[in-house]
Structure 1
Amino acid sequence: MEWFTADSYWLSRLVFQRVLAALYLLAFLGAALQFRALIGARGMLPVPRYVADVPFRRAPSVFHFHYSDRFFALCAWGGCAVAAALLAGVDGLLPLWAAMLLWLVPWALYLSIVNVGQTWYGFGWESLLLEVGFLAVLFAGDDVGPPVLVLFLLRWVLFRVEFGAGLIKMRGDACWRKLTCLYFHHETQPMPGPLSWFFHRLPRPLHRVETAANHVTQLAVPFLLFTPQPIATGAALLMAATQLWLVLSGNFSWLNWLTIALALSAVDFRRLFGDAAAPPADLASPPLWYEVLVIAVTAGLLALSYRPARNLVSRRQIMNYSFDPLHLVNAYGAFGSVNRVRQEVVVEGTSDAVPRQDSDWREYEFKGKPGDVRRWPRQFAPYHLRLDWLMWFAGLSPAYARAWFGPFVERLLEGDRDTLRLLRHCPFPDRPPTYVRARLYRYRYTTWRELRETGACWERTYVREFLPPTRLGGGAPEA
């Protein structure tokens, strides 16, 4: 079937594959370094307890058959090794069927992790990585041209990511329709980056232009992905440029980079660079079994797309939701509402036998979330700091932290090494504190004048107690 492949997208596939492999590597690395404190056997939300309550059919995972911290580490580091091999281009040295199997390995391993990750893995970019990773299996192999149907499916994913995000904004917070959301967003986003303070201090008319441009990119431009070239290439490059703007303005894990990878898969590089981007002359014709497989899987994924497509046009649109346990076709969206005020949970400990207001309370510092008002935010994305992100949700409402915050405090009181590794600084290096408390503060960016005078990028005001002084055993403070 001559229509089956589009050889001119050979370089597009190669770029897409390498970016995806790098993101797989970061995802597995984060899992390997953070899992013991979060979902390990002694973690805040242990995997063994979860798989005992949730059947395999609802959350398919190899950890239903066996779990130990050593086995999880083997899967995570094994995923790193496979991702590194894919990044190095090992798949290009294999026959088509073997390359497909190699791409299937990280997808199956990461699916197993996400499906037992619970709250720590409840982010839209987890499902996006799995959906795109599954399509990458069909996209494997350098000896045949990229299948047209897979190129279409990747554009369908990109369309849902962008258009879904645009719709959830227009249906959600009124500030998106008034073009005023960016008055607040850069200050109140989950994890600001090193440039977020400067983005926040841009003139308000420019914020309105940013918001309007965002609406155009998310609500109009996605339809151009399905138009002939070079229009589709222009639309994809515009989306990629918008995502780079978001990369500069905040820390959103690998969401922006994976969206860029999707956009690059729609770019016809040969139109841009001529023969320099030409495919190899020895591309083989795809075997019949491969054509049948791609057509069958495409038909199945389009059938599964019914619910995500219906969600897009629904007045009750939901975002970042998986409609099947394999995360094959999902609903996406971001920031349907924007907070006007930033509230942060500050965790402190004391070694005093009796906790008083004037006790020697020392503050725990997190790697990414705001704490010390003089510490400038850092760039972590596309690496994902899971505890820091959940601490942002805790600041919105204690309900977001009900399942894990108590175990987190307990591990601080125990001086648990795996938990302390998730933090930037522990103020009790020799022995754990006697009491731990948490307080809620309102944070705001300083003005240019305040920054010059104090050197602080944040100013904070005490709001209320989040957790009273607590010790091991849960007993009341001594009189």
Structure 2
Amino acid sequence: MRRLRNLFVYLLLWAAYLSACQVGQVFLYFQWDSLLLETGFLAALVAPLRQPPHHKQAPQGRLVGASPHEGLPFWLVRWLLFRLMFASGVVKLTSRCPAWWGLTALTYHYETQCLPTPASWFAHHLPVWLQKLSVVATFLIEIAVPPLFFAPLRRLRLAAFYSQVLLQVLIIITGNYNFFNLLTLVLTTALLDDGHLTAEPGNSRCKKRPTSWPRALLAMLSLLLEFTVYGLLAYGTVHCFGLEVDWEQHAVHSRTTFTFHQFTQWLKMVTLPTMWLGVASLTWELLNALWRWTQVRGWLRKLCTAVQLFVFGTATVALFVISLVPYSYIEPSSHGHLWTGAHRLFGAVEHLQLANSYGLFRRMTGLGGRPEVVLEGSYDGHHWTEIEFMYKPGNVSRPPPVVVPHQPRLDWQMWFAALGPHSHSPWFTSLVLRLLQGKDPVIRLIQNDVARYPFHRQPPTYVRAQRYKYQFSRPGEQSQWWRRQWVEEFFPPVSLGDPTLDMLLRQFGLQDKSPPRARSSGNALAQALRWIRKQLSPLEASTLLWGLLAAVGAIRVMQALLGPHPAHSSPLAKEKHKPAPKKDSGAAGKQPAPAPDNSSSSQTPRRKK
């Protein structure tokens, strides 16, 4: 599989997902789909054109023979992570959402998010002061910490890395956000360096060497700068959110001490400097790449690396300039003062989604309880049976599921549909039509096990939808996770041929205009794909995904434990480990005995790039 990790394969995967997003429209119109597209294109730049041979480890911790431009795509990943986190924190305040400004957003979030987890129920019942303090920590991690992604000090970057990991892990525990948080965790690895990722014992045991006074002074200044940054973060957090410790109630009280006008003025003051921070950091990365190019030996190799450095350097600068346009959306005046060439360049490639704007959890919805749409079917129009979905809340006695990293797109869209009238979600009318027709592919989106679908033997004659208000049950209510209250009728009862249904279908352009096409049975590929789908359909998507990930992990572990090491099997390695002949001339000290070929402690293992 190592041969498949190259630029062309990643470009193919990116193009395939871009095509799926264009076809999926509203069902794949989420910020994490845009994030996956942007990350996928950057992965094509990170991946090499061809897999190089295994490199030896250089004394400075770099790979011998590594390309000079290799750090540029990783810098773009770091810049993407900065834009994602900083914008997500800023929009929470620019939206003027009272829940975020009052620091009470998490008192609603766990209950009203699209697909809660069982841990959401427990998090929802935490003390209010702790939930408000968690909002303060969210603002700190998403707004104040991201500039540290470009800090010159390694320990500051590591502190930023661990803070981001903590936030993403907590979100994974308390909410089902499919692959988004896992993808963000992958992006955070751009904050690490080779020395932190290397598992070689030699790198963790630094030999004590005499330190010159300039190095000692530099280390002292670095430590002073590090403590200054931590002190400023702590002081700013206490000052901006009025943190006070209540020793009697064993609580920490917090409140927002700045106004919306003050925040917008601060944002106007820092948006352009953050862009210049990106320019300075990218310039430093380009200079480092140029310096590494000067260390390349051999005119032919120097020429090849110069071409690669030019191509990847130009692509890096272009993508950075393109990304400034969606990033500047967070502050209108900065967006207007942006270079016009950047706007033209972004407009030329906007349809490719190479750079996107982000801003997650902009506003809290369902402050009075989460609205939920419940579908019902009937054969006679009098006795109605609820149609239970696999993942979204329905049965009040069923615990919330854990479906990471799968995203049940229909369940997610049902959450958005409940926020307004059904006319705002045209696809809902099509869903009702397919249920009346008994379309098996649509039924499997609702219940993977068709036998659990109440109308699996015969489609319902009538279908309607009711809107309920769901709330988490209180502690002590046995065998119930939810409480619900009927609000109103969401979709009127309809049947096939009903004038209301036909009118809605015509209004949204959803009529079946062409006869169904017969399936071609002669296509071997189509038959194989249908057979695979039939075999896997009984499995839930989340179980299947975790099974595939576990299988890949098990294979990698077995390869690491049992597979022959390339350094042991290659003729070059065998030649390298032959005993050196004894010299005739007298040498200082005794000649060291050669280490046996099967000793793993006598050599530095080679790393795969």
In the aligned structure 1, how far is the partner of 2:196 from the partner of 2:453? 54
SS at match of 1:437: strand
Q: CA deviation at 1:438?
A: 0.1
Q: Summarize deviations over 1:260-314 as a string: whole Å, max 9, x none.
A: 1100122125236563597xxxxx9873332222111112112212312321223
**What corresponds to 1:412 in structure 2?**
435
2:352 counterpart of 1:329: no
Distance 1:342 1:316, change over 3 A: farther
SS at match of 2:488: strand
| 2:470 aligned to which of 443, 449, 456 | 443
Distance 1:308 1:335, change over 3 A: same
Amino acid at match of 1:364: I
In the aligned structure 2, how far is the partner of 1:432 from the partner of 1:332? 42
| 2:85 aligned to which of 162, 177, 182 | 162
Q: CA deviation at 1:237?
A: 2.0
In the aligned structure 1, how far is the partner of 2:406 from the partner of 2:445? 13
SS at match of 1:438: strand
User: Based on CA coordinates, which of the two structures has the bigger radius of gyration?
Assistant: 2
Q: Does the 8 Å CA contact 1:350/1:433 hold for their aligned counterparts?
A: yes
Q: CA deviation at 1:213?
A: 0.4
| 2:375 aligned to which of 347, 351, 357 | 347
SS at match of 1:230: helix
**What corresponds to 2:171 in structure 1?**
246
TM value normalised by structure 2: 0.58
Q: Summarize deviations over 1:338-373 as a string: whole Å, max 9, x none.
A: 021200000000011xx2xxx221111112110011
Distance 1:432 1:302, change over 3 A: same
Q: CA deviation at 1:194?
A: 2.3
| 1:178 aligned to which of 74, 98, 102 | 102
**What corresponds to 1:227 in structure 2?**
151
Identity %: 37
Q: Does the 8 Å CA contact 1:412/1:420 hold for their aligned counterparts?
A: yes
In the aligned structure 2, how far is the partner of 1:276 from the partner of 1:224? 28
In the aligned structure 2, how far is the partner of 1:472 from the partner of 1:103? 46
Q: CA deviation at 1:404?
A: 0.2
Q: CA deviation at 1:401?
A: 4.6
2:258 counterpart of 1:258: no
SS at match of 2:100: helix
Distance 1:420 1:208, change over 3 A: same
In the aligned structure 2, how far is the partner of 1:422 from the partner of 1:428? 14
Gapped regions of structure 2 (runs ≥ 5):
53-65, 204-300, 336-345, 502-609
Gapped regions of structure 1 (runs ≥ 5):
1-84, 93-98, 279-283
Amino acid at match of 2:78: R
Q: Does the 8 Å CA contact 1:393/1:400 hold for their aligned counterparts?
A: no
In the aligned structure 1, how far is the partner of 2:202 from the partner of 2:194? 6
In the aligned structure 1, how far is the partner of 2:402 from the partner of 2:18? 27
Q: Summarize deviations over 1:388-411 as a string: whole Å, max 9, x none.
A: 000000110125753201010000
SS at match of 1:456: coil
SS at match of 1:365: coil
Q: Summarize deviations over 1:39-88 as a string: whole Å, max 9, x none.
A: xxxxxxxxxxxxxxxxxxxxxxxxxxxxxxxxxxxxxxxxxxxxxx5xxx
2:387 counterpart of 1:361: no
SS at match of 1:305: helix
**What corresponds to 1:101 in structure 2?**
8
Distance 1:226 1:399, change over 3 A: farther
Q: CA deviation at 1:221?
A: 0.5
Q: Does the 8 Å CA contact 1:237/1:267 hold for their aligned counterparts?
A: no
| 2:456 aligned to which of 389, 408, 429 | 429
In the aligned structure 2, how far is the partner of 1:315 from the partner of 1:241? 33
| 1:390 aligned to which of 403, 410, 413 | 413
Q: Does the 8 Å CA contact 2:422/2:491 hold for their aligned counterparts?
A: no
In the aligned structure 1, how far is the partner of 2:422 from the partner of 2:352? 28
SS at match of 2:374: strand
In the aligned structure 2, how far is the partner of 1:159 from the partner of 1:400? 37
2:317 counterpart of 1:299: yes
Q: Does the 8 Å CA contact 2:422/2:490 hold for their aligned counterparts?
A: no
Q: Does the 8 Å CA contact 2:328/2:334 hold for their aligned counterparts?
A: no
SS at match of 1:158: helix
TM value normalised by structure 1: 0.73
Q: Summarize deviations over 1:153-202 as a string: whole Å, max 9, x none.
A: 11111011111110110112122122111110000001111211111111
Distance 1:269 1:230, change over 3 A: farther
**What corresponds to 1:372 in structure 2?**
395
In the aligned structure 2, how far is the partner of 1:198 from the partner of 1:151? 38
Q: CA deviation at 1:328?
A: 0.5
2:474 counterpart of 1:456: no
Amino acid at match of 2:480: A
In the aligned structure 2, how far is the partner of 1:219 from the partner of 1:342? 28
Q: Does the 8 Å CA contact 1:181/1:338 hold for their aligned counterparts?
A: yes
Q: Does the 8 Å CA contact 1:270/1:277 hold for their aligned counterparts?
A: no
Amino acid at match of 1:171: T
Q: Does the 8 Å CA contact 1:114/1:126 hold for their aligned counterparts?
A: yes
Q: Between Structure 1 and Structure 2, how many residues are aligned?
A: 367
